[in-house]
Amino acid sequence: MVTLEIDSTAIKLMETGGGRVMKWASLSLEPGTVERGVVSDLQALGTAVKQLMTSSGIKANDVIASVSGLYSVSRILPVSSLPGGLITPEAVVGAAKEIMPLATDKLYLSWETITPSEGNQQVIVVGVPRDVIDAEVRALAAVGINPRILELKAMALARAVNKEQALILNIEPSNFDIVMIVSGLPEIMRTIAWQQGDLTVEDRAEHLALNLELTVGFYNSNHPDTPLDPATPLVITGQISGDLALMEKLQARVGYPVEPLVPQLDCPAHLPASQYAVNIGLTLKGTAPSRVPGQGGYLPPDINLLPEIYRPWKPSARQIYFVCSVVAAIALLFPLYQATSEAMAKTANLEAKYTIINNELQRRQTEIKNREPLQKAIAEYRTIVNMGGGFTQDVKVINSEAERLGIEVQSITHQGSNIAIACQADDYLAFDNYLTALEKTGRFFTPIPPPEGYPYIKGGTIKLEPKPSQ
């Protein structure tokens, strides 16, 4: 098993097997890789993890990783349950909306029942900003690493300490965690950013002790009948726990007995266990805690913060039942399917034959349609031939009468057995005289003037029908 702790300034890897720590390694991150608990340079983080794996010989595609609690919120809430103790996601989300300070639509919510009962149940709910988890998962996935389990640092620390009642102070260069375990439950989990800068050892010890006192004071004000026991042990972990001068000042400042971390794993003597407390807690995830005689043991919530969208798909019992039902239905309907397929094949064959015949019919209809203009032209030509030289004489008469009366002939068109003359006169009287003159020639039946505006028009198309030759 390989665990990965991601902090703002460093990453830590640990490989375990059979309850024994086999390898561990750490690597400082470039500034700006992780800013205030959020991965800001995905490529840099992924590259750093791969680099640390290569240099340490710790190889794994699946890891259990920590998530910073800097922007997370956690609460123990009473949630109404259905008969049988079933809690719906809607009930948890509804209860979380009423008490959590952040918008639940911007959080990934995870929860676990800690006191099962009928009616109302105690549920521990953890909300982590979506961008915190999304960035971490994408950074690891980009280098082929699958974080199959994500856990809040504070919960991993509580599991590593494994006490029924304790205070945990996890100190890192850019933030520190305060976890309060009461009656085996993480009543308070806080992550606070800090900048040590030019602070003296005394100033740093004072700052840490003051925040610890404020946290305990907040708890005591909400539990006046059961305040925190002053004899509650304080366990100090994290990278800065190796600063002996700070540890000495801090131990003298706080009013709680400081105890060392006692790992529940078989650790080499030279392993700085307190600095790898988060990795140890991640390794113990899902395992039964050891109980210290007379003190009980820590029964940690087993919450995987990895959202469903990033988890491998596993069919539910309902989905399995549905698939089995579909398979059974297919088996029963298969004979009908075969008969239907044969009928459809025959239908398709008939449709193909119909398509061929229909295409041939359309082709022949197109050919007939294409012949119509030619047949019409032939008929007109025969009409002209049958007229002999009459048409030529008609044209001469039309032009001579027009010239005599001062009419402008624009076109003469032969339309089968008729003649169409487009002409223009100076006035409507001249136009009317032209119609009369054409009729008096004796070659035409009564000319048909344009229907619009006659007899008061000066031009247009005149239709003539030549008389049969004697």
Quick one: what percent of the chain has pLDDT higher than 70? 89
Query: With 60 as the cut, is the pLDDT of residue 470 above it?
Result: no
The residue-averaged pLDDT of 371-388 equals 64
Same structural domain for residues 174 and 272? yes
Cα–Cα distances (Å) from 367 to 295, 354, 358, 361, 381, in that order, read: 103, 20, 14, 10, 22
- 209-227 pLDDT, tens digit per residue, is 999 999 999 999 999 999 9
CATH, residue 445: 3.30.1360.100
Give the end of a domain, one of 359, 383, 407: 383
Same structural domain for residues 437 and 324? no
Confidence of residue 294 (pLDDT cuts 50, 70, 90): very low
For residues 170 and 3, the answer to whether their CB atoms sit within 8 Å is no
Q: Any idea of the CA torsion for 137, 140, 145, 149, to the nearest 10 degrees? A: -40
The residue-averaged pLDDT of 306-330 equals 74
DSSP state of 446: S
| Choice among 74-83, 242-251, 300-309 with the minimum mean pLDDT | 74-83
Same structural domain for residues 15 and 71? yes
Same structural domain for residues 82 and 151? yes
Same structural domain for residues 256 and 333? no
What is the residue whose two structure tokens read 């064959």? 349
Query: With 80 as the cut, is the pLDDT of residue 95 above it?
Result: yes
Q: Which residue has the higher pLDDT, 222 or 296?
A: 222
Same structural domain for residues 16 and 114? yes
84 is a domain residue? yes
Same structural domain for residues 74 and 140? yes
Q: Any idea of the CA torsion for 198, 199, 200, 206, to the nearest 10 degrees? A: 180
pLDDT of residue 293: 43
Same structural domain for residues 191 and 336? no
469 is a domain residue? no
Torsion over CA: 276, 277, 278, 280 (sign):
positive
Q: For residue 29, which of 7, 49, 2, 10 has the smallest C-alpha distance?
A: 10
Q: Give the H or E element holding residue 179.
A: strand 175-182
Domain limits for position 199: 2-310
Please, which residues have CB within 8 angstroms of residue 90's CB and are 6 or more apart in sequence?
none
Query: With 90 as the cut, is the pLDDT of residue 30 above it?
Result: yes
The residue-averaged pLDDT of 84-97 equals 80
Backbone dihedral region of 460: left (phi > 0), alpha (psi from -120 to 50 degrees) or beta?
left
For residues 289 and 147, the answer to whether their CB atoms sit within 8 Å is no
Same structural domain for residues 183 and 47? yes
pLDDT of residue 96: 82
Give the end of a domain, one of 357, 383, 409: 383
pTM comes to 0.66
Same structural domain for residues 193 and 73? yes
- 99-108 pLDDT, tens digit per residue, is 777 676 788 9
Same structural domain for residues 347 and 333? yes
Q: For residue 301, which of 145, 448, 440, 110 has the smallest C-alpha distance?
A: 110
Same structural domain for residues 369 and 448? no
Query: With 90 as the cut, is the pLDDT of residue 115 above it?
Result: no
Tokens of 398: 């039309």
Confidence of residue 288 (pLDDT cuts 50, 70, 90): low
470 is a domain residue? no
How many CA atoms within 13 Å lie on the side-chain side of 447? 26
SS3 431: helix
Cα–Cα distances (Å) from 419 to 126, 428, 434, 437, in that order, read: 99, 21, 15, 16
Query: With 90 as the cut, is the pLDDT of residue 138 above it?
Result: yes
Distance between CA atoms of residues 306 and 73, nearest Å: 16
Query: With 60 as the cut, is the pLDDT of residue 270 above it?
Result: yes
